[in-house]
Amino acid sequence: VEDDLPAPAVLANSRMISGSWQLVPRTRHVIGKNGIEIHPVSGEAVTAAPGDWRKYLGEDFSGDAAYITDFVWDGEVPQKVLLDLGTVNYCCQVVLNGRDYGKQFRGPFVFDISDSLRSGINHLEITVTNTLANAYSPREVELQMETLWPPRSGYENRQRVYERDSLVSGLAGPVVIRY
């Protein structure tokens, strides 16, 4: 987020982007013999509203998945337009109508989309990356790690407790255009 962007509440009007979203897994982060491995995923798109993606991608999915939708903007495009993603677990990248707005790893997840929102149909893709907590969470992965990299430190035991707070994943939203 650029420092000179107004806070989302300063803009008087807003429209929630609702309707049909597709969720497409792109890469999966797994614990392998040599550490973390990143694998491309050729998973099919599923219809999924913004929210925790674990019910669609599985409890142990760590990686990147894209929330994709087309929405219609009726009328003229305002001079200043912000896309406010609400809650994102944990970082994201936004592409609107082919323009890449970059990545953010902390909130507020607000992007100035003034230069690419257009009247008519708009194509929005929000790629979210969660933490590795989900990849570490299965008991079999924990046992694998104990075998591959003994001895286990006291820090790791405390880390597992912390990671349980990071299992919620994906774009929670709400996704709102502010103008």
Mind listing the pLDDT tens digit for each residue in 5-39?
555 555 679 999 988 999 999 999 998 888 889 99
Please write the tens of the pLDDT for every residue from 47-94. 999 999 999 999 999 999 999 999 999 989 999 999 999 999 999 999
pLDDT of residue 5: 54
Count Cβ atoms within 10 A of the Cβ of residue 94 and give its class: 0-12 exposed, 13-18 middle, 19 or more buried.
Answer: buried
Whether 1 shows a pLDDT value over 50: the answer reads: no
pLDDT of residue 127: 98
Whole-number Å distance between alpha carbons of 135 and 149: 16
Identify the bridge partners of residue 170 per DSSP, sorted by sequence position.
89
User: In the structure, what pLDDT confidence band is assigned to residue 109 with cuts at 50, 70 and 90?
Assistant: very high
